Chains A and B, each alone.
Chain A
């Protein structure tokens, strides 16, 4: 089944404790992206990657890191999480093409205390 998977789905952590949210897709998509969703604000792009070893900042990259060493994986790293990073996070992937329809993962709900 073609899908985007994220782990963990739920995470409660404390300020300053490094964490990684994994994202994997099995559709051989070149493009992957991370978003955060907060009430009343809609989804905002954190980072995106157009291909292996190619990443770029989205609209809200501060406090986040990413890496794209393999085509299928695009982990999101929070080196020192803070309470304002409490949010719902989505990973998405798409293939090249005019419409480049994005397929979203199920989401990761992160709470930073």
Chain B
């Protein structure tokens, strides 16, 4: 069973609207949690990285939150743009070198 579960699997939103993606994890111990954006056919690109002591981090229109007690994270996209269409991957790291990946949420932004 995957130790990092993401929901929804996919979603469609209209340009300019907001959306929130969810990530639940069971990875232990916990070092940090990352959100990556992956455009079709390309490698993932880091959006945010948070340690257990951080509960929110922003990168432009992307805001990630973390609740280490409940082992939940979310990624909020504000005022979506067509270029936000991509897969968003939650990654949990128990140490410096091992990464556990979620299956990703595919976001489609429509004009």
Q: Enumerate chain A interface residues (CB-CB to B < 8 A).
A: 4, 31, 33, 35, 40-45, 48, 50, 58, 90, 92, 96, 98-102, 104-107
A-B contact count (CB 8 A): 51
List, sorted by A's number, 9 A–B pairs whose CB atoms are closer than 8 Å: A41-B2, A42-B102, A43-B101, A45-B99, A98-B32, A98-B51, A101-B34, A101-B49, A105-B43
Give A26 to B34 CA distance when docked, in angstroms: 23
Chain B interface, >50% SS class: loop
Q: How far, in Å, is B39 (CB) from chain A's closest CB?
A: 11
Known: A42-B2, A42-B89. Is A104-B101 also a contact (CB below 8 A)?
no
Q: Would you call B96 and A100 a contact (CB within 8 A)?
A: yes
Q: Which residues of A contact B43 (CB under 8 A)?
A: 4, 90, 92, 104-107
> How many chain B residues touch A (Cβ–Cβ < 8 Å)?
21
- On chain A, the residues within 8 Å of B104 by CB distance are 42
